[in-house]
Amino acid sequence: MVQPVVMSEYFKANGGKSQAVVGRFVGIVALYGLLGPMVGAVGVNSLFTVLAIGGEMTRGAFGDIGQLIVGGMVVGTIISLIVAYAIGIVPAAAVGFMVARRVRRENVISLRTALWSALVLGLLVSFAAMTVVPPDGRAQWIGALLVAHLLAAVVCTWVAQRLFGRG
């Protein structure tokens, strides 16, 4: 008859290494899932604000720049954070999962894995967004979603390497 193994005894027998591996895996996934949408939202919102300011500057409307900065960066960030967490927490956690799988297999926090995963998931989210976004705004949404995913992947990987070691 097979005896059940109590996990705490298993971890003690293995010097606690398995528990550390599981903790690191969960920590990486949580980091990407929680930090990724915020980084993507702030990055895309900053990009759109700079583009709007540039458009106003080419028209010579320098008086509206202050309103664009406040409206774009403050109000826009609040709104975009809500949207980012609503549609971005699952893809961000999925990127974290792929990075954590690579860490578990090869003991390296890979930027390449994060970028490829973010690109694939960014394209999937973009295709899903095309069903609800009007045709005249699709290009901006696709670009914004790809920028958000890739920027979040870079920043989260950088943070993960510092928190959890390079590998």
**Residue 3 located in a structural domain:** no
Read off the pLDDT of each residue in 16-37 and give the average, rounded to a whole number: 86
Residue 43, in any domain of the structure: yes
Mean pLDDT, the chain, rounded, equals 85
pLDDT at residue 13 in the model: 52
Domain contains 14: no
Q: Give a yes or no: residue 100 inside a domain.
A: yes
Specify the pLDDT at position 36.
96
In a domain, 1, yes or no: no
Write the pLDDT tens digit of every residue in 58-109. 888 777 788 878 888 888 889 999 999 998 999 999 999 999 999 999 989 9
The pLDDT value given to residue 102: 94
In a domain, 11, yes or no: no
For residue 23, pLDDT over 60 is answered with yes
The residue-averaged pLDDT of 119-123 equals: 95
In a domain, 91, yes or no: yes
pTM for the full predicted model: 0.81
Question: Can you give the pLDDT at residue 48?
Answer: 85
Please give, one letter per residue, the 3-state secondary structure of the chain. CCCCCCHHHHHHHCCCHHHHHHHHHHHHHHHHHHHHHHHHHHHHHHHHHHHHHHHHHHHCCHHHHHHHHHHHHHHHHHHHHHHHHHHHHHHHHHHHHHHHHHHHHHCCCCHHHHHHHHHHHHHHHHHHHCCCCCHHHHHHHHHHHHHHHHHHHHHHHHHHHHHHCCC
Q: Which domain holds residue 42?
A: 31-164
Q: Assess whether pLDDT exceeds 70 at residue 1.
A: no
Asked whether the predicted pLDDT for residue 18 surpasses 90, the reply is no
Q: What is the pLDDT of residue 12?
A: 53
Q: How many independent structural domains does the chain possess? A: 1
* pLDDT score of 11: 47
59 compared with 156, residue with greater pLDDT = 156
Domain-embedded: residue 118: yes
